Amino acid sequence: MIKDNYFIYNSDQRKAFLVKKIQNDHLYFSLIKYFYYNPGTYDSLKGISLRLGLNQEIIKDKIDDLLKVGILQSNRSSEGEVYLLKKQKSVLNDFRKALSVIEGKNQLD
């Protein structure tokens, strides 16, 4: 279970969040796929925006949402704040499940 100042997210809530965001916003879909298929990625906002061809200001809020639900984490480096996929097994399973739902391979549960 992930807890921040406003929300508590369990695995089912995180999967539902992912599916909703992937279905309704291509920018979330691009970010989620980027981190899912590159699980070792450790990158700055600028680096992510350059690799995906997206505007930094546009994706910042989306990255913040992914941080809030416990999908991404941020760390400080000599280059500033960097983002990476949480390596928890439950997060990776939720990613896989949400992407399979979108691709029509499975149901959410």
Is 63 inside any structural domain?
Answer: yes
Is 107 inside any structural domain?
Answer: no
Is 14 inside any structural domain?
Answer: yes
pLDDT at 9: 62
Which pLDDT tens digit goes with each residue over 12-69? 777 777 777 777 788 888 888 888 888 888 999 999 999 999 999 999 999 998 888 7
State the total domains in the chain: 1
CATH of the domain at 33: 1.10.10.10
pLDDT at 35: 87
Q: Which domain holds residue 11?
A: 2-102
pTM to 2 decimal places? 0.73
**Contact criterion met (CB below 8 Å) for 39 and 91:** no
Is 41 inside any structural domain?
Answer: yes
Query: Does residue 4 surpass a pLDDT of 50?
Result: no
